[in-house]
Amino acid sequence: MSSYEKACEEVARIVAERFECGKTDYIDLNRIKKEVGSRYRLKTIPRNSDIIKILTETEASHPNRGIIDLLRRKRIRTISGVAVVAAMTSPYPCPHGKCVVCPGGPDSPFKSPQSYTGLEPAALRGFQHDFDPYKQVKARLKQLSEIGHEIDKVELIVMGGTITSRPLFYQRWFVKRSIEAMNDFYSQNQRSTGEKSWLTVQKINETAKVRNTGITFETRPDCCKKQDIKHMLSLGVTKVELGVQHTDNEILRLINRGHTREDVIRANRLLRDSSLKVGFHMMPGLPGSDLEMDLAAFEEIFNNPDFLPDYLKIYPTLVVEGSQLEKLWRRGEYEPLTNEAAAELISRIKPMIPPWTRLQRVQRDIPAGKILAGVKKSNLRQIARKMMEDRGERCRCIRCREVGHRMLEEPELEISNLRLSIERYYCCGGSENFLSILGGEDTLVAFLRLRFPSDPFLSELDGASLIRELHVYGPLVPFDEEVEDGWQHKGYGEWLLAEAERISLDEGYSKIAVMSGIGVRGYYRSKGYEQAGAFMIKEI
């Protein structure tokens, strides 16, 4: 055994002993690691992931959860109740050509997936594993597990350009191999070769140790037609993120986007009436736009019933090598947003966000050294938040209110007196009902999206109300387990489901359809739902 391994073992022993006595906190942990590392004359202190590995091996794979919580790195990774795993598709051109702002693609200096530089964490994993989805997913699960995260519930995000424009066999292969990686993760020396049918792979995942709770596709609004949606549903897709970028057709034309606002409106309605969740990607600071036009675009997507996204990612426009935008910038024909201007803009946008929308990101993952001009600060969200606080404003988006994030920021915060809240709004010709369980200070514990659709084109959804999403927040709790101070598996999902059924009955519906992740179908079966195609359906 090496000196490093002996040191890790000693740290694990000391931490376990002191934890039982309630004497170990984060500061004490670092001191222990430094003292032991010095005693063994190590060049680096023991890594938490290696200490976790020893604890797991020495405690019959069931170490004290509190110790693992203490050692867990990047706790934010599973603080929202699921482990998010991104897999990158191989470089492939977009069907319309190339946007002015796009930094990547197979013909770019980066030879990367479209719209990526190849230097983002997910893109780097893609290159490292030859864009093999099985290898990417397994590697990411291993990383998360090693730093102390539960990985029982996995949300898969398929990234890398316009996935729905790729051959259908590639889409199916990519998703199937990703799910097989989850199925195989805890199997000793097992590596599926892909011979199982897609139906079999899904069935296995329904009871696997690592289950898929949802699949996200990123695509373009003009590549999201009825046939595309049918195919996505057959692959278990539960959420679609649309590259909207702006709502002004002239700006979209100037950047050679290849789609219009009308395409966005059409895709948004089709997706919602198919029970899918919808996310928008928006890009402030585009050529032809200005601060006033950008603010107007965000005001519109939050107030115009043709838009109203469930999820939102904001990517301030960046000048990156190899893009057509670089040429405009070098000629002095384009000036990107500065750090200060972008932070000010975000601080103006966040108070507008309705409580049923989740702001997921406010900037790209591109390394600052590869950005020629534009926002280079990595803490844009925090800067914007400080600006809002100085004005006495706050953001009520889902992410800012969810219980896991609140507990991270305020560990002593007490969440009690939970109540049910129902907010109704109209969107895309139908009615949306946002049911949420709230604690003090507007803390969000769980929510459900119930839609009374406009005009579904899928026969399975005839006469049905649609549950597009049910999510219980807080740190991820493994299936079939309960944690005393956790929030999942406490009956909150059942409460919301029963309320959605009651409201649907009151509105005259006799059938309800749930958009369920592959690995969550068993839960809905236990509540009287049966599978019909991509949906779990119940007569009420």
Binding site for [4Fe-4S] cluster, by residue number, is 94, 99, 102
Distance CA 152, CA 400 (A): 25
Residue 252 CA from chain centroid, whole number: 26
Distance CA 178, CA 160 (A): 15
Distance CA 14, CA 3 (A): 16
Distance CA 475, CA 48 (A): 19
Directed axis angle between helix 380-390 and helix 339-349, to 10°?
A: 60
How many CA atoms lie within 13 Å of 534's alpha carbon, on the beta-carbon side? 23
Phi/psi of residue 208, nearest 5 degrees: -70, 165
Beta strands in 120-223 (DSSP E): 153-159, 211-219
How many CA atoms lie within 13 Å of 158's alpha carbon, on the beta-carbon side? 35
Residues annotated in a binding site = 94, 99, 102
| Contact (Cβ atoms closer than 8 angstroms) between residue 325 and residue 319 | yes
Position of tokens 């259908």? 168
| Contact (Cβ atoms closer than 8 angstroms) between residue 472 and residue 81 | yes
User: Helix and strand tally (H, E) in the chain?
Assistant: 19, 16
296: how many CB neighbours lie within 10 A of its CB? 14
How many CA atoms lie within 13 Å of 255's alpha carbon, on the beta-carbon side? 28
Residue by residue, DSSP assigns 293-309 as: HHHHHHHHHHH-TT---
Residue 154: CB partners within 8 Å, gap ≥ 6? 82, 83, 84, 85, 141, 182, 210, 211, 212, 213, 519
Residue 203 CA from chain centroid, whole number: 24
